[in-house]
Amino acid sequence: MSEQELRDSLRSAVVDEPPMTFDLDELMVTAERLARRRRIFAVVGEGPTVDIDQT
């Protein structure tokens, strides 16, 4: 195999993008849902604490 044939074979192997295996809309909805959930838990985690004095 010549260098030119190798170059052409490699170039033809990467000409097209691979097919997407996920839905971009579903990905965005999931990311927004997880971000909202993290914000909710962060607010709940910052709530008041009870200090028990054991003197």
Q: Give the count of beta carbons closer than 10 Å to the beta carbon of residue 1.
A: 6
pLDDT, mean of each 10-residue run, the chain (55 residues): 90 79 92 92 69 65
pLDDT, position 21: 87
pLDDT, position 39: 87
Q: What does the alpha-carbon distance between residue 15 and residue 8 come to, in Å, rounded to a whole number?
A: 10
Burial of residue 42 (CB within 10 Å: 0-12, 13-18, 19+) is exposed
Boundaries of every domain in the chain: 21-46
Q: What does the alpha-carbon distance between residue 27 and residue 25 come to, in Å, rounded to a whole number?
A: 5
